[in-house]
Amino acid sequence: MAAGAVSGCIFCQIATTSTCTTLLHSDENVVAFQDINPSALRHYLVIPKEHIPTVKDLKKSHNDYSLVNHMLDVGKSLLCRDAPQSKQYRYKFLKTWNLMEVFSHLK
């Protein structure tokens, strides 16, 4: 398990490619993949590789602002790549789960 990963966290396992989840995007900070129970045709999760329990654990720092913006940019680029004809997307940051993630929905 990578530094910053939490044992038993399925999202940390996905971020460190310890599962069979197909990654749509991976870089040094985030990974993106299709939701296991999608509520839309293109329902992607973009998660940080570092375990961040909740949005409340983010700091008002340049690094955390950059991370959140990067997560949003990755979601946008995936949807533009996979559904360029669509004009309406929905992005959502969850704060109630044990993980901060971006849901990118195509309606």
Cα distances from 9 to residues 33, 62, 84, in angstroms, run: 16, 26, 33
Report the amino acid identity of residue 32.
Answer: A
The CATH homologous superfamily to which domain 10-106 belongs is HIT-like (3.30.428.10)
- How large is the average pLDDT for residues 11-17? 88
In this predicted structure, the answer to whether residue 101 has a pLDDT above a threshold of 50 is no
Confidence (pLDDT) at 65: 93
More confident residue, 41 or 70: 70
Please give the structure tokens belonging to residue 91.
């992005």
Report the amino acid identity of residue 86.
Answer: S
Confidence (pLDDT) at 105: 41
Confidence (pLDDT) at 2: 58
**Contacts of 33 by beta carbon, 8 Å cutoff, 6+ apart:** 14, 21, 22, 23, 24, 44, 45
In this predicted structure, the answer to whether residue 69 has a pLDDT above a threshold of 60 is yes
